[in-house]
């Protein structure tokens, strides 16, 4: 039973579910549902899909995540960055508005779901670590700029296209003669209103005497108010006949059963984008889930999260949706509203199902400019250009990674941006570890501690060279240590013994072993002793299985202090 609960977390929290928990989850579900209705429509628009796809992608995936996921507050569904990646990926294999485009979206969700499930089943969640936080921040910032720019065409009422910033801006400028000023007024008013709501409405309502919960609900309903006001205006004044583009007819039904394409050609075309979407989605989701879980001292299992997100994406693929993940804004709203279990997500799905059945006719006259305003307000909160200044002041290597990621994402597109981010993260790691920190240390007077001679006033012995290796040794940095030792002992003839302090070394691979053997042989030929100190147990076990310890031109000491005292005493004999 315990093994089953590991893969079905619903069995764990479900057996302790009570009336109070139900009440809290229902309140959270109402708030999130109100928020999700316009947001789901908007993200479908961003992905280039029919508006109903956004609602469909927010029903079955939420339920499946509630069954398989481990986060009590994560709200799964369409998110801005993944929607943009979806549009970029399927736009290369099908034309927007066609049946092939919709099928490509289903296939992309299916591939993403399978990939996430495989990572979870084989416990490969560590793959997400290949994206460093600065690179993720840079990519999300650039994506936010791209998303906001892509929505300007709806605010202006023009036909424009493009997947990169130069393409989008160039296309918008080419079509400026098509501007619909009525659309501009609607879009600008909605955007301004939503910014005001996000910043000022809750403090105002609290000041007027409303409870924090009611003020929060009304604030989250801000986008709904914008949707209602602009939809009524378009209907009442016949603005659709005056050039204002509207959502139009949205099917009044529950999510249909759909089937992704299993065409080898289409699947091969979408495989790499699906992998990139999966990694980005998982990184965003797990960071949100862990942050919210920490606030309540709850545990998140990254590998089970992969299974939950994989199941959610498979659900989207077979119910008319597109790739989904855990969203930051809706998850925070879900948490703040008092959600206690994933059941809140199930209730949210039920609310969206009711909306899909009975409320979709009400959005016929909803202007696309309002949905664009919803997206712009949501994504601009993701843009954080201060990351450039922060990384510049802290670490120039990280600054370079952020800058290049932002530049490539804006100029060449999101897929190139993601791929470059992964590549840059890996290259930076390899570069940093190829030059491990190795400090020459000396004895702190009156103690048995050893510190860097460049930073502390320590005792040294001209006949003794002690190097503290501060990283594991493997093929990419082994030669660096070998060259450093050679250069140091060549500086003079006083050095009689070399000690490598291994207190921070957790691993020595075969290439590093060969480098240590080469150091040992070279020092032996020079008449210099070669010693090791503070070698960790697992590392020592590995070294004992080789010839290094048997052929060592010196000894292995339990501590650096023992090594120093023994070799100083030996030198005096």
In a domain, 370, yes or no: yes
User: Given 342, 367, 385, which residue is the final one in a domain?
Assistant: 385
Residue with tokens 């992964």: 422
How far apart are the C-alpha atoms of 32 and 2, rounded to whole Å? 32
- Which sign does the torsion angle of CA 275, 279, 284, 288 carry? positive
Residue 465 DSSP label? E
Q: Examine the domain organization and report whether 347 and 479 are in the same domain.
A: no
Residues 62 and 353 sit within 8 Å (Cβ to Cβ): no
Q: Tell me if 411 is assigned to some domain.
A: no
- Would you state the pLDDT for residue 427? 82
Structure tokens that stand for 396 in this block: 């120039």
Domain match, 456 and 374 both: no
Rounded Cα gap, residues 408 and 396, in angstroms: 18
Interhelix angle 396-412/386-394, rounded to 10 degrees, is 150
Tens digits of per-residue pLDDT, 467-524? 999 999 988 888 899 999 988 887 666 899 999 999 999 999 999 999 999 999 999 9
Q: Which residues contact 188 (CB under 8 A, 6 or more apart)?
A: 155
Considering the domain architecture, whether residues 354 and 495 belong to the same structural domain is answered as no
Q: Could you give the C-alpha distances from 370 to 7, 175, 233, 338, 504, in angstroms and in order? A: 41, 20, 12, 29, 57
Q: 271 and 135, same structural domain?
A: yes
Write down the pLDDT at residue 320.
95
Both 374 and 480 in a single domain? Answer: no
Question: Is 90 exceeded by the pLDDT of residue 160?
Answer: no
Q: What pLDDT was estimated at residue 5? A: 64
pLDDT above 60 for 2: no
Residue 171 lies in a domain: yes
pLDDT score recorded for residue 454:
92
Same structural domain, 195 and 278: yes
**pTM of the predicted structure, to 2 decimals:** 0.80
Comparing 30 with 132, which gets the higher pLDDT? 30
Q: Percentage of the chain with pLDDT > 90?
A: 51
Measured CA to CA, the distance from residue 166 to residue 160 in angstroms comes to: 12
Going edge to edge, which strands form the sheet with 450-452?
450-452, 438-443, 464-469, 497-501, 529-533, 556-557
Which of 42-56, 135-149, 233-247, 342-356 has the lowest average pLDDT?
A: 135-149
154 and 299 share a domain?
yes
Ranges of beta strands (E only) in 399-472 are 438-443, 450-452, 464-469
Q: Is 394 domain-assigned?
A: no
Residue 30: CB atoms within 10 A of its CB come to 17
Model pLDDT for residues 432-462, shown as the tens digit of each residue: 788 888 999 999 999 999 999 999 999 998 8
> 397 versus 251: which is more confidently predicted?
251
Are 381 and 442 part of one and the same domain? no
543-557 confidence digits (pLDDT tens): 999 989 989 999 999
140-149: average pLDDT = 89
Residue ending a domain, choose from 344, 366, 385: 385
Looking at every residue in the chain, the average pLDDT score rounds to 88
pLDDT digits (tens, 9 = 90+) for 71-123: 888 889 999 889 989 998 998 899 888 989 999 999 999 999 999 999 999 98
Tell me the residue range of the domain where 492 lies. 438-572
């Amino acid at each position: 039973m315990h093994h089953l609960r590991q893969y079905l977390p619903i069995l764990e929290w479900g057996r302790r579910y009570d009336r109070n928990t139900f009440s809290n989850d229902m309140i959270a579900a109402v708030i999130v549902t109100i928020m999700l209705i316009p947001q789901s429509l908007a993200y479908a628009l961003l992905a280039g899909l029919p508006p109903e796809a956004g609602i469909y992608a927010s029903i079955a995936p939420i339920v499946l995540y509630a069954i398989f996921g481990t986060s009590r507050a994560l709200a799964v569904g369409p998110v801005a960055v993944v929607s943009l990646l979806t549009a970029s990926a399927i736009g290369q294999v099908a034309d927007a508005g066609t049946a092939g485009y919709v099928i490509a979206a289903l296939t992309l969700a299916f591939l993403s779901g399978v990939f996430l499930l495989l990572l979870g089943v084989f416990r490969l969640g560590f793959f997400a670590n290949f994206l460093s936080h600065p690179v993720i921040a840079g990519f999300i910032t650039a994506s936010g700029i791209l998303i906001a720019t892509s929505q300007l065409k709806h605010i202006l009422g023009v036909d424009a296209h493009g997947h990169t910033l130069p393409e989008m801006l160039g296309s918008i400028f080419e079509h400026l003669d098509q501007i619909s000023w009525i659309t501009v007024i609607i879009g600008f008013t909605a955007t301004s209103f939503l910014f005001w709501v996000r910043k000022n409405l809750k403090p105002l309502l609290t000041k007027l005497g409303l409870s924090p919960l009611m003020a929060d609900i009304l604030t989250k309903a801000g986008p709904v108010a914008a949707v209602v006001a602009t939809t009524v205006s378009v209907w009442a004044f016949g603005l659709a006949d005056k050039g204002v583009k509207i959502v139009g007819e949205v099917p009044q039904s529950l999510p249909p059963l759909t089937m992704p394409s299993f065409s080898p050609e289409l699947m091969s075309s979408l495989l790499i984008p699906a992998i990139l979407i999966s990694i980005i989605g998982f990184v965003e989701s797990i960071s949100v889930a862990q942050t919210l879980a920490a606030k309540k001292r709850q545990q998140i299992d990254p590998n089970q999260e992969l299974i939950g997100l994989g199941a959610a994406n498979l659900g989207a693929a077979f119910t008319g949706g597109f790739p989904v993940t855990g969203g930051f804004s809706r998850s925070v709203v879900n948490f703040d509203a008092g959600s206690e279990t994933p059941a809140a997500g199930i209730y949210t799905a039920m609310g969206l199902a009711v909306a899909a059945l009975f409320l979709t006719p009400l959005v016929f006259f909803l202007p696309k400019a309002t949905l664009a305003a919803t997206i712009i307000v949501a994504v601009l909160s993701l843009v954080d250009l201060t990351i450039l200044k922060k990384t510049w002041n802290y670490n120039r290597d990280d600054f370079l990674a952020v800058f290049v990621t932002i530049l490539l994402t804006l100029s060449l597109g999101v897929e190139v941006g993601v791929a470059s981010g992964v590549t840059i993260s890996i290259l930076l790691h390899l570069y940093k570890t190829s030059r491990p920190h190795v400090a020459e240390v000396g004895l702190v007077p009156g103690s048995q501690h050893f510190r860097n001679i460049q930073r502390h006033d320590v005792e040294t012995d001209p006949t003794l060279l002690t190097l503290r290796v501060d990283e594991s040794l493997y093929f990419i940095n082994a030669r660096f240590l070998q060259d450093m030792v050679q250069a140091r002992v060549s500086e003079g003839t006083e050095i009689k013994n070399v000690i490598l302090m291994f207190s921070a070394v957790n691993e020595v691979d075969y290439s590093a072993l060969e480098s240590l053997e080469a150091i040992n042989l070279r020092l032996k030929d020079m008449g210099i002793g070669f010693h090791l100190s503070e070698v960790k147990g697992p590392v020592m076990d590995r070294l004992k299985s080789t010839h290094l310890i048997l052929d060592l031109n010196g000894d292995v000491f339990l501590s650096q202090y023992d090594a120093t005292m023994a070799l100083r005493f030996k030198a005096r004999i």
